[in-house]
Amino acid sequence: MQPRTLEINTWLSEMKCRKLVANLTAKHFTAAYCANAQAATDYILAHAQTAHSIGFGGSLSVADLKLTTLLTEQGKEVLNHGFPDLTFEQRVEIMKRQQTCDLFLSGTNAVTLDGCLVNIDGNGNRVAAMIYGPSKVIVVVGRNKIVEGDIADAIKRIKDRPAPANAMRLGRQTPCATTGFCCDCDSPHRICHITTIIDSKPCLTDFHVLVVNEDMGL
C-alpha cells in the first residue's frame, strides 16, 4: 500500500474509532481511543497496578498484547484458563475465580458503531464476568470489530468469522470447524450457546472500553 493511501485509510479508521468512543461515552462506559496496541497495553498496565488478581477471558485481542508475562513478573495473580497443561477441573476453577477478580480483561466479538457490545459464548463465563462480578473490566476492541449496522449485523459478523475460527482453534467437533461456515447446528460442542448484548454500562461494573486503531483478534 502506498504511504499516502495508508495515511488516508488510517485517518478514516481513526475517525470511526473516535466516533465509537464518543457513542460509548454517551452510554456511560469509560471509553478511550488507542492509536495502537502499545497504547492499549500501557493503559491496561496502568490500571493493573492496584489489582492483585487479573482474569483473562480467552480473547485473542488481549492475547495479542502479551500481558501475561508482564503481569506475572509484577507479582500479579494471573487467572487464565487458557494456559496449557491445565486439567478440566483446573480450568473450571479458574473460570469461577475470574468472576470475582480485581481486573478482568476481554475482547468483544463485535461492537456496533452506536456502542452496543455483542458477544456469543459457549460456556458464558466470559460474558458473565464482563457484566458483573470483577472490580474492574477492560474490553479491548480492534477496529476490525466495529460494525456499521445493527445488532443483527453484529451477530452476522460473529457467525461469519470468529465463531467458525474459534471452533476450529479450540478443536470443537462442529460443522463450522470443518467448513469455516456457520450452519446453525445443534451440536452439543457448538460455541454459540449464549448471545449477549451490552447496550450501556452495567450499573455496578467499572467498565472500560479501549478502541484500538489496529486490527486485533478475529
Q: Does 45 map to a domain?
A: yes
Look at residue 29 and give its three-state secondary structure. Answer: coil
CATH number, domain containing residue 121: 3.40.50.10420
Residue ranges making up the domain that contains 94: 3-212
Contact call for residues 201 and 184 (beta carbons, < 8 A): no
Q: Does 201 map to a domain?
A: yes
Q: Decide the pairing of beta strands 206-212 and 136-142.
A: parallel
Which residues, 6+ apart, have CB-to-CB distance to 188 below 8 Å?
none
Q: Does 87 map to a domain?
A: yes
Q: Does 217 map to a domain?
A: no
Q: Does 218 map to a domain?
A: no
Contact call for residues 176 and 183 (beta carbons, < 8 A): yes
Q: What is the pLDDT of residue 1?
A: 76
Please give the helix or strand (H or E) that residue 76 lies within, else none.
none
Q: Can you give the pLDDT of all 218 residues of the chain as single tens digits? A: 788 898 999 999 999 999 999 999 999 999 999 999 999 999 999 999 999 999 999 999 999 999 999 999 999 999 999 999 999 999 999 999 999 999 999 999 999 999 999 999 999 999 999 999 999 999 999 999 999 999 999 999 999 999 999 999 989 999 999 999 999 898 889 999 999 999 999 999 999 999 999 999 99
* pTM, full prediction: 0.96
Vertex 22, ends 19 and 24: CA angle to 5°? 110
Which residue is listed with cell 450501556? 200
Q: Does 12 map to a domain?
A: yes
Q: Could you give the number of structural domains in the chain?
A: 1
Q: Which set of grid coordinates corresponds to residue 158?
A: 460473529
DSSP letters spanning 139-176:
EEEEGGGEESS-HHHHHHHHHHTHHHHHHHHTT--SHH
Query: What distance in Å separates the CA atoms of residue 180 and residue 108, rounded to the nearest whole number?
Result: 20
Look at residue 182 and give its three-state secondary structure. Answer: coil
Backbone angle region of 217, left / alpha / beta, with phi > 0 → left and psi within -120 to 50 → alpha: left
Query: What distance in Å separates the CA atoms of residue 60 and residue 48, rounded to the nearest whole number?
Result: 19
Query: What distance in Å separates the CA atoms of residue 108 and residue 209, rounded to the nearest whole number?
Result: 10
* Residue 152, number of CB atoms within 10 A of its CB: 11
Q: What is the pLDDT of residue 78?
A: 97
Q: Does 167 map to a domain?
A: yes
AA identity, residue 138? I
Q: What is the pLDDT of residue 154?
A: 98
Q: Does 148 map to a domain?
A: yes
Q: What is the pLDDT of residue 3?
A: 86
Please give the helix or strand (H or E) that residue 186 lies within, else none.
none
